[in-house]
Structure 1
């Protein structure tokens, strides 16, 4: 029997152990890769779920609304629009405290409803916004989502791109307002839901209101709030947008909004008297007490402490309070004010109002 030296013995043991060690190392390597993959998948899912990926301390990445699955936008959703970039395409948008207050009030009073802020750009999709304290406040609500919209792309998806491409909308004297008149109809026809202007405080849950409605505003029709749901809503929405395109006038502020609504509903309701428009074949015109208890001639009472008690009493049963930003935007209101608007803001948009330093 041939003797084996110690060195030879060590070499044979090493040859025996090498495959075993390689197997163990390979197993650990594969296991580590699997864990890394799982963690990466979870991180991506979380980022996608919340759609709030901060790209820096001052900016927020937002998705194009067309990239979202239609099922992720329920038919009872609430929509707010920002069309500022239609006039200043390169401007990175941030919200004023009063705009943020409107959005927060909708989220607070309708906590089980998704609230979307859609930032509209003419041809280029906006992918970042300022991550301001106001934006942070409203995004602290799980039901609030911010999305961008490329208007040409979105209108093409809705088969209305010729109207955008011909340039008349961009040449409008009131491009922000007229774009909003157009887009609110597009978005409600596509998804269904409720559109609300960013100068409204929402006081109540909206689920008890009719499936399809607009509101009467002291002898006029006002599209600051409009709901279109189901097939009837889509049909009426197409009547609105077809009239807007056919009769578009870029030099008159209300021509493509209130006057367009009046033209369509005069036919649908079989009356030209706005006060007689109530239920037009299932499409409802709600009265002032629900939507506009404070009219455009009384807006300053909202900001006047002496009228606070009277105003709060008049809005007690309303679903909305319109604070008429076009008229009131330069009206300063102190953080400690007892005016009706300040009291409403403290109650219905507490996080936004807490950001007030001197004036709100």
Structure 2
């Protein structure tokens, strides 16, 4: 009789423990499912690039182990830009605190080119701090077509004409290195992936209906601040070759506008624009200066003045705000009513609302 009671008590204890274990396991699984969307072994869901690498998470305090499954890996530039129609920006310095104009340029492009990827390559970004993007760039967090990637010079230049040049160069001894390195990177990025390159002081206002094009700054000079080509196009190939063969860091623009002007002249003569029409150079469109430079660089301050009647820029695809000329001299202030403020309000509203601060008194 006593043995029967002991056996019954033991069975009851096992049933109770089984129920408790099942309940706890269900609870922990539920908690785990909630947590895995936010914290994974110190890494978080990248609001732009997707999930970080699959991993297993262990919490020492709770002694809980969770495994993430079916989480796609971090997307690479080749995957994101595989269609050859991306919009590409770059930052060739280590700065990670981007000024309002840069954020506006990226936001405006993402809004204008809603169905195309917008890729921002940044030298200051590395593989371990992509998780901080949402905190660093909150104005871009809602734009699902924006992607950030590290800009690694050596890796980018590998297997291109610029590889040998970069392996021999000493950046500290180069004049205008920030601009020279940016000139080289934009060439290689468009040659590799195709798409449209935009300077980070260009506000997009409507789509560019061209694939292979350069934009004229004036009738005598091409610009490398905006251009677009299909992958491995002959023009970008010739530009890379010319970049190396005629390298001279002492001359500002030698690897940029001067290079583009020299190379396009090997295809055809530069047109003289008398109206608002574009020109053709074989299969390359040469865009009228009105497309991006309706306000020329000598008049760059006009963007920071109050206009009695706002211009429509109906013949433009984007507006180059000449940040190199401004160089931080004039900032856009909320309530100032200058032209640039109206552009921010219209084409990068998130940047305008979050970055520019309180209304001017």
Q: TM-score, normalised by structure 2?
A: 0.78
2:264 is matched with: 265
Residue by residue, what CA displacement relative to the aligned partner does 1:262-304 show, whole Å, maximum 9, x if unpaired?
A: 12111122x2x35389322212111112121111122112222
Q: Hey, what's the Cα distance between the residues in 1 that align with 2:358 and 2:35? A: 44
Which residue does 2:349 correspond to in 1?
Answer: 350
SS in 2 for 1:357: coil
Cα gap change, 1:41/1:334 in structure 2, threshold over 3 Å: closer, same or farther? closer
Quick check: 273-282 or 159-168, which moved more?
Answer: 273-282
Q: Which moved more, 1:44-53 or 1:330-339?
A: 44-53
Counterpart in the other structure of 1:89: none
Deviation by residue 1:99-144 (Cα, 9 ceiling, x = unmatched): 11111111222222221221125xx947438769872112332222
* TM-align CA RMSD: 3.4
The aligned residue for residue 60 of structure 1 is: none
Output aligned runs, 1:181-220, within 5 Å: 181-206=183-208, 209-219=209-219, 220=221
Q: Which runs of 5+ in 1 are unaligned?
A: 55-65, 86-91
The aligned runs of 1:103-122 (5 Å cut-off) are 103-120=106-123
Q: How does 1:6-21 map to 2 (within 5 A)?
A: 7-13=2-8
Q: Which moved more, 1:234-243 or 1:11-20?
A: 11-20
Contact 2:122 2:150 in 1 (8 A): yes
Over 3 Å counting, the alpha-carbon distance change for 1:353 and 1:40 in structure 2 is closer
Confirm whether residue 75 of structure 1 aligns to residue 77 of structure 2: no
Summarize deviations over 1:227-270 as a string: whole Å, max 9, x none: 11245xx332111111111111111111000111112111122x
Q: Distance in 2 between matches of 1:48 and 1:358?
A: 30
Distance verdict in 2 for CA 1:267–1:37, change over 3 Å: same
The Cα shift of 1:210 comes to: 1.3
CA contact (8 A) 1:169 1:178 kept: no
SS of the residue 2:244 aligns to: helix
- The residue matched to 1:253 in structure 2 has which SS? coil
| Residue 38 (structure 1) shift | 6.0
Shift of 1:342: 1.6
Tell me, in whole angstroms, the C-alpha distance in 1 between the residues paired with 2:8 and 2:323. Answer: 85
Q: How does 1:295-306 map to 2 (within 5 A)?
A: 295-305=296-306
Q: Is the 8 A contact 2:49 2:75 kept in 1?
A: no
Mapped partners of 1:113, 1:166: distance in 2: 37
In the alignment, structure 1 residue 341 sits paired with structure 2 residue 350: no
Normalised by the size of structure 1, how large is the TM-score?
0.78
Q: CA 1:252 to 1:37, structure 2 compared with 1: closer, same or farther past 3 Å?
A: same
Q: Give me the whole-angstrom Cα distance separating, in 1, the residues matched to 2:308 and 2:105.
A: 19
Structure 2's unaligned 5+ residue stretches are 53-73
Q: Is the 8 A contact 1:308 1:340 kept in 2?
A: no
1:156 partnered with 2:164: no
Counterpart check, 1:291 vs 2:289:
no
Q: 1:287 to 1:204 in 2, by over 3 A?
A: same
After TM superposition, give the deviation of residue 152 of structure 1 in Å. Answer: 1.1
The answer to whether the aligner puts 1:320 opposite 2:322 as a matched pair is no
8 A contact 1:262–1:274 mirrored in 2? no
Task: Give the direction of change, closer, same or farther, for the CA distance of 1:101–1:295 in structure 2 (3 Å limit).
Answer: same
